[in-house]
Amino acid sequence: MMSPDFLSILISSVLGLGLAIPSYTCIVMGNLDIIRKKGKLSPTDVIFLAKGIVNLLLQCVLSIKGMILALCLEIFYISQLSVFMSTSINFLIYYNFWLTFWLSAHYCTTITNLSYGFFIWIKRIVSNFLSQLLFLTALGVFMVSVPGFWALNAESLIQSSVNSTEVSAIGLDKVFFYFVPATTLGSILPFCLSLLCLVLTSSFLLRHVWRVKNNDSGSTRPNLQAHVTALRTIFFLLLIFTFFCGYQVIYFLPRSSLSIGFWNLQLLSPSVEAAVIFQASNKLRRIILRRFWTRSWRNTET
> How many Å apart are CA 97 and CA 149, to the nearest integer?
20
Q: What is the pLDDT of residue 76?
A: 66
Q: Does domain 4-301 have CATH number 1.20.1070.10?
A: yes
Domain map of the chain by residue range?
A: 4-301
> How many Å apart are CA 169 and CA 176, to the nearest integer?
11
> How many Å apart are CA 131 and CA 107, to the nearest integer?
17
Instruction: Write down the H helix ranges in the chain.
Output: 4-38, 43-71, 73-76, 79-112, 117-128, 130-145, 147-160, 165-183, 189-213, 225-250, 257-280, 282-301
> Pick from 244, 149, 171, 238: which is nearest to 199 by CA?
238
Query: Mean pLDDT in each 10-residue stretch from start to end of the chain (302 residues)?
Result: 78 90 89 83 90 94 87 71 81 93 90 74 83 92 76 52 44 61 86 90 83 60 75 89 70 63 82 89 78 57 50
Q: Which residues make Cβ contacts (< 8 Å) with residue 172, sequence separation at least 6?
A: 154, 158
Distances (CA, A) of 208 to 58, 112, 213, 214: 39, 10, 9, 10
**Concatenated DSSP letters for 78-91?**
-HHHHHHHHHHHHH
Distances (CA, A) of 7 to 12, 16, 70, 279: 9, 14, 7, 31
Distances (CA, A) of 185 to 14, 182, 281: 31, 5, 29
> How many Å apart are CA 274 and CA 95, to the nearest integer?
16
Q: Supply the DSSP symbol for 228.
A: H
Q: What is the pLDDT of residue 145?
A: 82
Q: What is the pLDDT of residue 165?
A: 43
Q: Which residues make Cβ contacts (< 8 Å) with residue 264, sequence separation at least 6?
A: 8, 9, 12
Residue 258 near residue 211, CB atoms below 8 Å: no
